Amino acid sequence: MTTPAPEDRKDSMAESAGEQAAAAADAKRGPSVATREKRAGLMNPSGETPYLVVEDLTVKFPTADGVVSAVNGLSYSVPLGRTLSIVGESGSGKSVSSMAVMGLHDRKRTQITGSIRLGGDELIGLSENDLMKVRGDAVAMVFQDPQSSLHPLYTIGNQISEAYRVHHKVSKDVAKKRALEMLDLVGIPNPIRRFGQYPHEFSGGMRQRAMIAMGLVNDPKLIIADEPTTALDVTVQAQILDLLNNLQKEFGSAIVLITHDLGVVAEMADDVLVMYAGRCVEYGTAEDVLANPRMPYTWGLLESIPTVSAASEKLRPIKGLPPSLLNLPSGCSFNPRCPYKDRVKGERCTTDLPDLLPVDGAGAHTSRCHLHDKASIYETEVLPRLS
């Protein structure tokens, strides 16, 4: 066995130090893993070519009381033909992150950093005129409250026609024909009569269908649906979800579905991203996240769902309240509410922010938690309560 020459040893030590420094620097740049290549793999559970890529997105709102950190280092991707559900409690940053994708935040009052690429084109930094060409054409948003999103003084048909004419140089007759086609496509009966009616003449479910028609009138490749079934009865909810599913198959669009209803997630989602306090705390395919969750917050969300078979049992809500985004807790943001933090040695939960790392050390299913025996805790303690 030969002994390396002093020069070789120096070169080897220099290379090792250089690699460590590069890894440390890259870890600081990335929110969760050591290299950009690994980040790309972890933020794309399906492995398919993504159409929307959000990377290290941060959204902050300076206020008189301080800076509201609404979104912190968020990364995900959505390929065409797949549905990503973003879930979490109110105030977790779901809608704020999606409004950033649409470019709907007031630039003078919002600090946005990171990257949002749509079909390979960077959206952050685009002028308002360029963003207007993207909104409603390549990407459309279906808001959770159609009553306030639709203009009360214009007919439904005129609003859909106008959305089409903004991106196409066509006559009013051509735009009207297209609007009638969309009203029929989303299942609104008697489109000709409904074309001339106002939003207050539509039921809640029909207004939501009209919003979907407006969003799809330009055949967008990305649809962001923000709580599309809020305030709708169960039957209409199922109809709206079936409609989105069928339209996705017809148009081949990517869908970002924002919801707090895990029943909707189980029915619609291909991939699931769980958000808490502006951060992603678990991410993977719907099968992995719902059947094999590895984050105590996700466990809490699943345990909070009432079941018909357990009518006599009390609900198991997550104790406490989400933290203030003006003053996030140190360490893991969930630690003030986490019933498992005492099982982590030392004070890591309150001092160190956990990285978003692969579950069991491999694969695209990731979670953000310091617990070392997550699988055992879930199988022996959480799963029996869920079943």
Q: Write down all domains in the chain, each with its CATH number in brackets.
A: 43-138+220-386 (3.40.50.300), 147-219 (no CATH)
pLDDT at 371: 94
pLDDT of residue 42: 59
Residue 363 has pLDDT above 80, yes or no: no
Q: What is the mean pLDDT of residues 211-222?
A: 90
Percent of the chain at pLDDT > 90 equals 61
How confident is the model at residue 34, as a pLDDT?
A: 36
Q: Is the pLDDT of residue 67 over 90?
A: yes
- Find out whether 144 and 185 touch, Cβ atoms under 8 Å: no
Residue 311 has pLDDT above 70, yes or no: no
> What pLDDT, on a 0 to 100 scale, did the predictor assign at position 73?
95
pLDDT at 12: 43
The region of weakest confidence among 35-39, 196-200, 275-279, 341-345 is 35-39
For residues 334-350, give the mean pLDDT: 94
What does the pLDDT read at residue 72? Answer: 96
| Beta strand spans in 228-383 (E) | 254-259, 271-276, 279-285, 357-358, 366-367
Which pLDDT score is estimated for 32? 40
| pLDDT number for residue 15 | 43
Q: Which of the four pLDDT bands, split at 50, 70 and 90, describes residue 312? A: low
pLDDT above 60 (res 6): no
Q: Which residues are CB-neighbours of 59 under 8 A, at least 6 positions away?
A: 70, 71, 93, 96, 97, 100, 105, 110, 111, 112, 278
Per-residue pLDDT averaged across 253-264, rounded? Answer: 90
- pLDDT greater than 70 at residue 249: yes
Average of per-residue pLDDT across 116-142: 91
pLDDT at 349 over 70: yes
Using left for φ > 0, alpha for ψ between -120 and 50, and beta otherwise, residue 359 falls in beta
Rounded distance between C-alpha atoms, residue 248 and residue 44, angstroms: 19
Please report the pLDDT score of residue 247 as a whole number. 84
Residue 9: per-residue pLDDT: 44
What is the average pLDDT across 327-343? 95
Q: What is the pLDDT of residue 241?
A: 85
pLDDT at position 381 over 70: yes
Distance CA 316, CA 303 (A): 6
Choose among 253, 176, 171: nearest CA to 220: 253
Cβ neighbours for 253, distance < 8 A, ≥ 6 positions apart: 80, 81, 220, 221, 222, 223, 247
pLDDT recorded at residue 131: 92
| CB-CB neighbours of 189 under 10 Å | 9
Residues 98-120: what's their mean pLDDT?
A: 94
| Pick from 28-32, 186-190, 203-207, 354-358: least confident | 28-32
Question: What is the average pLDDT across 133-149?
Answer: 85
Q: Is the pLDDT of residue 314 over 80?
A: no
- pLDDT value of residue 377: 94
Distance CA 109, CA 151 (A): 25
308 band by pLDDT with thresholds 50, 70 and 90: low
Q: Does the predicted TM-score (pTM) go above 0.75?
A: yes
Q: Is the pLDDT of residue 354 over 90?
A: yes
Per-residue pLDDT at 313: 66
